[in-house]
Amino acid sequence: MSGQNVDKTLVSKEEEVLLQKANIHYAFRPFISEYADRTVTAAFILTTDDETFALGTNNRDNILALSGDDFAKNITLEKPRKIPELSGRRIVKLSVTEQFGAALTDKGKLVYWGRDIRSTARGDDDVKNVVMPFVVRDDLTLKDFTCSAYYLTVLTDEGDVLVWGSYFRKLGDHINDFGVIKLRKGVRVKEISSGWYHVALLDDKGQVWTFGYGVGQLGWSWSFEDGDLTPGPVPLPAPCKKVECGAYSNIFLLNDGQVYASGQNTEKDHLCVDREGTVTKPAKVKFDIPIGNIAAIFSGPFGRSQSRFAAVSEDGTKFFKWGYDTRMKSPLLVDRVKNLEEIFSDYRTPQSLARIKHSLPPIDEKPAQVKVDSILSNWSVFGKLDKAFVDRVTYFTTFEAVDSAKYTKSLKGLIATKEDDVYLCEEQKEPSKLELLSKKKIKKASFNQYLMATLSKDSSLYVQEIENPIQLTYGVPVRMKDTVSDVSLGKSFMVYLTKSSEIFFYGTFLSGLYIHEDRKAIKMPTDGPFKSLSTGVAHCAVLSTDSTAYTFGHGVHGELGRIWKNHHSPYDVESVKLPDPCKKVLCGAYSTVFLTDKGHLYACGNDDDENTRVLTTGPYGKDWGPRKIWLDEKIEDFTVGIEINERSLNTFSTYAAVSSTGKIYAWYDRTKPTMVDVASTMLDVFASRQIPQSMSMVRIGPEEVEEDAEENAIPEDEIQNDAGTEEEIKLYDDPKFSDVTVRLSDGSSVLAHKFLLHRKSAFFRKALLESDGLSNVIDLPSHDAKAVRALLK
């Protein structure tokens, strides 16, 4: 549709320039509530230069894909607003229902946004189930797709038909997860359309096939025994060249220009087939001239749904409309329209009319922009990065900046480049370089309302005060004197772990209840060593190398895994009793979650406050001891994100886990762990949101060998990995296969081979280089002898 044909009822005069380059105007009706009038409108405008603009009414499903403070808010855009997440994607088809939207790119990729498909089917309106635009099933290349109320049907390049979602609301556990529709041998589908409960397929021979939940609209006699995923042929008097679905009906355009219809018809005969009531077998629509094209669309749930149909004569001079739940003897002739789209200007744009023809230059000749396939495109704060900049990014994270005085928050981004420059990214702003953090090889960044702590690859910890939380002005980064292996920030405190397994605490667990501490040493029950720590709002968890978890802090919510009262000291550390060794522990806002070496998750903490969105381990209440989180399969890894509720400034937690089979689960707000179909990694659960501390900073691309670590430090991952083959291990301490002696700090020595040492790890490559590679002795007097021996195993 050209710009001059765009319906301008929603567009102000100031936007005339935008309309002149409009490629298509797609209108739809967002869902506001079960009882709200379905006449509110919204639209996307896609331009000739591959930009997407939104205007009209947004909803809690974020149907307009708004970001920042307007995410998932019921607001009305009086003027078009550019949507970065839907721009630059080279969209060729668009479809938007009441609660979610989808688009097809010219590369055959499906982009999805709004309420996630499972919660749409469940009738769950939690804002945490709302997603920003992202690519679904990147492994699929699609030819077409169609949306209904709670499901999508896609047609792949290979000709497979897949269904994703559920026919019915509040049956969220009955989800088709891209289930393949079994077609009869030799059937090659070329077009698809969908109604409320059904799908219609048109094959290359002109035969129509339908499947779904039959209420008369399938065109053949259906029963429950037939199932809802088995297509059946529709009897038509001639080959069909187009099929369009209404809510509970179909219209068929035959090769000879006749139009037939089937489905629910009511006593008004709105199908115009000269018959009242349900039309099970397709009947002829009362046209007296050949028809060249048809279109259909519907809106509104269940009894309030309304189907509308339109047609144009074969010679293109006459336009008709019918349906509308209105009695008509025959389709009504429509004056003063130039195309089918204009007949639907006050309603929804039919999906078959939402095809977009581009005349764009090749991608590499276009203005630079964030790559569609870049992981950064899942966060709008990186929308101002051009293609060349994106290619330089090596690490990134996102965090929330909170202005507690105004009850507002906004998402920010932090990135590090190949040149080791660090930049701050904000919505609709160019990235700004942080000179004081550049060239420091930052590998982790943690934030709260008062501090930013960054940990470098050489184990240096830099701490900065946040002087203005919204404008994000910082104090000068102060380098802590300790050599640090891990750091984490709670609501009003910081805790870090040194290379020598000392733990230091700065700040206070709760202002007004405890005094402010400055480098307070935390006395652990054992000397360790310890390998990681995590923080919640007012507590901390520590994991030792012998797989024991410890907790300390303000434990009134049960987050410490033991009975705790206000008279107890928050600095008393105790181990947590678990049935199996612990391989990972992370803190939620008021909870702690443990992953054992057997792949089971356990949790403790507050489970009775809706605002804190915590556990699902059993009856609501405080779990003083860890309880098992019931999942049907073993868990490989998990993470926990802590965020701020903008309306109340309360904190809440989001939990994500990946199973041993690669499935992604997420849960929060008194919900059970649910498999997330649209996520391929745990990071996808946090798209468009703050990234958990335990995942920061996120590496883009393969991990690089760390050659620049502190001079006498041996990376832990090298001690644990690359054990070598049994044959290689036998070559050590054997003088027949040795050409170098490694002298250790405890006075002992190991006979080794330079070739094996060189391939073993970066640590030994550096040691060989420092010995000029020619000497038959390598002295390591400053390194722990046990650690070096561990590297040789």
- Distance (Å, whole) CA 118 – CA 437: 42
- Distance (Å, whole) CA 260 – CA 266: 17
| 8 Å CB contact between 61 and 22 | no
Beta strands in 48-129 (DSSP E): 52-57, 76-82, 91-96, 100-105, 110-115
Range of 218-232, 445-459, 541-555, 779-793 with top mean pLDDT: 541-555
Window from 154-158, 175-179, 261-265, 597-601 with minimum mean pLDDT = 175-179
**Percent above pLDDT 90 for the chain:** 44
- Distance (Å, whole) CA 676 – CA 686: 12
Does residue 489 or residue 528 have the better pLDDT? 489
Q: What is the mean pLDDT of residues 491-514?
A: 94
Predicted confidence at residue 761, as pLDDT, reads: 64
pLDDT tens-digit readout, 627-650: 898 787 899 999 999 988 755 567
Q: Name every residue whose Cβ is closer than 8 Å to that of residue 67 and which is 6 or more positions away in sequence.
A: 84, 85, 132, 380, 411, 427, 688
The pLDDT confidence band at residue 98, using thresholds 50, 70 and 90, is confident
- Distance (Å, whole) CA 641 – CA 587: 9
Q: What is the mean pLDDT of residues 54-60?
A: 90
Predicted confidence at residue 21, as pLDDT, reads: 57
**Percent above pLDDT 70 for the chain:** 78
- Distance (Å, whole) CA 343 – CA 337: 7
| 8 Å CB contact between 105 and 373 | no
The answer, yes or no, to whether residue 71 has pLDDT greater than 60, is: yes
Predicted confidence at residue 709, as pLDDT, reads: 40
Window from 54-58, 482-486, 605-609 with minimum mean pLDDT = 605-609
Residue 361 one-letter amino acid: P
- Distance (Å, whole) CA 368 – CA 88: 9
Window from 241-250, 267-276, 476-485, 592-601 with minimum mean pLDDT = 267-276
Predicted confidence at residue 10, as pLDDT, reads: 46
Predicted confidence at residue 455, as pLDDT, reads: 96
What φ, ψ does residue 255 adopt, rounded to 5°? Answer: -60, -25
Does residue 674 or residue 571 have the better pLDDT? 571
Task: Quickly name the fold that domain 1-180 has.
Answer: Methylamine Dehydrogenase; Chain H (2.130.10)
Exposure string over 265-291, b if 16+ CB within 10 A, otherwise e? beeebbbbbeeeebbbebbbbbbeeeb
The answer, yes or no, to whether residue 773 has pLDDT greater than 60, is: no
Q: What is the mean pLDDT of residues 50-70?
A: 89
The answer, yes or no, to whether residue 155 has pLDDT greater than 90, is: yes
Q: How far is CA 503 from the centre of its chain?
A: 35
Predicted confidence at residue 285, as pLDDT, reads: 97
Q: What is the mean pLDDT of residues 81-86?
A: 90
Work out the mean pLDDT of the chain and round it to a whole number: 82
pLDDT tens-digit readout, 301-323: 444 568 999 999 999 999 999 99
Task: Quickly name the fold that domain 375-699 has.
Answer: Methylamine Dehydrogenase; Chain H (2.130.10)
Any idea where the domains of the chain sit in the sequence?
1-180, 375-699, 716-791
pLDDT tens-digit readout, 722-766: 333 333 444 455 555 567 788 777 777 778 776 666 555 667 766
Q: What is the mean pLDDT of residues 272-291?
A: 94
Window from 248-257, 299-308, 342-351 with minimum mean pLDDT = 299-308
Range of 339-348, 356-365, 567-576 with top mean pLDDT: 567-576
Tokens at 16, concatenated: 């005339």
The answer, yes or no, to whether residue 517 has pLDDT greater than 90, is: yes
The answer, yes or no, to whether residue 46 has pLDDT greater than 70, is: yes
What φ, ψ does residue 320 adopt, rounded to 5°? Answer: -135, 155
Q: pTM for the whole thing?
A: 0.51
The pLDDT confidence band at residue 48, using thresholds 50, 70 and 90, is confident
The answer, yes or no, to whether residue 229 has pLDDT greater than 50, is: yes
Partner residues linked to 284 by β-bridges: 260
Q: Do domains 1-180 and 375-699 have the same CATH topology?
A: yes
The answer, yes or no, to whether residue 721 has pLDDT greater than 90, is: no
Beta strands in 576-650 (DSSP E): 582-587, 591-596, 601-606, 622-629, 635-644
The pLDDT confidence band at residue 711, using thresholds 50, 70 and 90, is very low
Residue 393 one-letter amino acid: V
10 Å Cβ neighbour count for 503?
A: 22
Predicted confidence at residue 15, as pLDDT, reads: 57
pLDDT tens-digit readout, 426-435: 887 889 999 9
Does residue 276 or residue 100 have the better pLDDT? 100
The answer, yes or no, to whether residue 701 has pLDDT greater than 50, is: yes
Predicted confidence at residue 492, as pLDDT, reads: 93
Predicted confidence at residue 406, as pLDDT, reads: 58
Predicted confidence at residue 730, as pLDDT, reads: 45
| Separation in Å, CA 323 to CA 40, 240, 307, 328 | 20, 21, 6, 8
The answer, yes or no, to whether residue 613 has pLDDT greater than 80, is: no
